[in-house]
Structure 1
Amino acid sequence: MLNLRRATEKDLLLLYDWANDSEVRKAAFNSRTIGMEDHSSWFLRKLTRSDSDIYIMEFENIPVGQIRFDEREERNSYLIDYSIDLKYRGKGFGSKIIELGMKAQMDKFRKDLEFIALVKNQNISSRKCFDKIGFRQDDRTEEFITYKYAGRYEK
Structure 2
Amino acid sequence: MRAREATEADAGLLLEWRNDPRTRQASRSSGVVALDEHSAWLRGVLESPERVLYVVELDGSPVGTVRFDREDEGVWEISITVAPESRGRGLSGAVLAEGERAFTAGHRVRMVLAAVHQDNAASAALFDRAGYTETSPAVDGFRKLRKTVL
Relative to the length of structure 1, the TM-score reads 0.91
Distance across 1 between alignment mates of 2:144 and 2:10? 29
1:76-125, Cα deviation, whole Å (9 max, x unpaired): 1111111011121122222212211122221102x442100000111111
Equivalent residue number for residue 148 of structure 2: 150
Listed as ranges, the gaps of 5+ residues in structure 1 are none
**Is the CA contact 2:75–2:109 (under 8 Å) kept in the aligned structure 1?**
no
* Deviation, structure 1 residue 60: 1.1
1:53-74, Cα deviation, whole Å (9 max, x unpaired): 00011111110001100000x2
Q: Partner of 1:141: helix, strand, or coil?
A: strand
Amino acid at match of 1:136: T
Q: Partner of 1:128: helix, strand, or coil?
A: helix
Amino acid at match of 2:117: K
1:126-146, Cα deviation, whole Å (9 max, x unpaired): 111101111001112261110
Structure 1 range deviating more: 138-147 or 9-18: 138-147
Distance across 1 between alignment mates of 2:112 and 2:93? 14
Distance across 2 between alignment mates of 1:151 and 1:113? 5
Distance across 1 between alignment mates of 2:90 and 2:36? 33
Is residue 94 of structure 2 the alignment partner of residue 128 of structure 1? no
Relative to the length of structure 2, the TM-score reads 0.94
RMSD: 1.2
Equivalent residue number for residue 56 of structure 2: 57
**Is the CA contact 1:12–1:43 (under 8 Å) kept in the aligned structure 2?**
yes
Consecutive aligned runs of 4 or more in structure 1 exceeding 2 Å deviation: none
Distance across 2 between alignment mates of 1:150 and 1:10? 33
* Deviation, structure 1 residue 17: 0.4
Amino acid at match of 2:53: I
Amino acid at match of 1:124: A
Equivalent residue number for residue 137 of structure 1: 134
Q: Please give the residue correspondences for 1:87-106 in structure 2 after superposition, counting only pairs within 5 Å.
A: 87-106=85-104
Distance across 2 between alignment mates of 1:129 and 1:99? 10
Listed as ranges, the gaps of 5+ residues in structure 2 are none
Corresponding residue pairs, total:
149
Distance across 2 between alignment mates of 1:92 and 1:71? 28
Q: Please give the residue correspondences for 1:2-151 in structure 2 after superposition, counting only pairs within 5 Å.
A: 2-72=1-71, 74-109=72-107, 111-141=108-138, 143-151=141-149
